[in-house]
Amino acid sequence: MQHKAHSPGFLAIVNDAKSRVQEVNIEQYQQMADQDHILIDTREDNEWQAGHAKGAIHLSKGVIERDVENVIPDKSKTLVLYCGGGFRSAMAADNLQKMGYQKAISLDGGWRAWNEAGLPTEKL
């Protein structure tokens, strides 16, 4: 699968966010999957509708900061965020930490890694 080429400015803000957030790879996620957590898809609506991780909730990067406190008021919950590859989810996790969420984790590799691992998916 071809990876999208990202601009230097975008990569700079992603790397800045990644310097502050916890990331797990797909193997680490599978080890923690039975622990109490909320899996959040931060991709756009069209990406979500085309298929997403089974059991995930959808709070896209565009609205997560606006809506998360209404959807998940408990800021001590473990949140595992994913996107296509782990860049948007890292930025979202960084912002959630700034909002007081103590365990906002980004899934490195995102949707791509989820599918490569053969984990369960669903469509609307």
DSSP 98: H
d(CA 81, CA 83): 7
How, if at all, do strands 121-122 and 52-53 pair? antiparallel
| Residue scoring higher pLDDT (5 or 27) | 27
Q: Rounded mean pLDDT of the chain?
A: 95
Q: How do residues 55-67 score in pLDDT, each as one tens digit?
A: 999 999 999 999 9
Domains in the chain: ranges and CATH: 23-118 (3.40.250.10)
Buried b (16+ CB within 10 A) or exposed e, 18-28: beebebbebee
Alpha-carbon dihedral angle through residues 21, 26, 30, 35, given to the nearest 10 degrees: 20
pTM of the model: 0.93
Q: How do residues 35-57 score in pLDDT, each as one tens digit?
A: 999 999 999 999 999 999 999 99
For residue 3, pLDDT over 70 is answered with: no
Q: How do residues 100-120 score in pLDDT, each as one tens digit?
A: 999 999 999 999 999 999 999
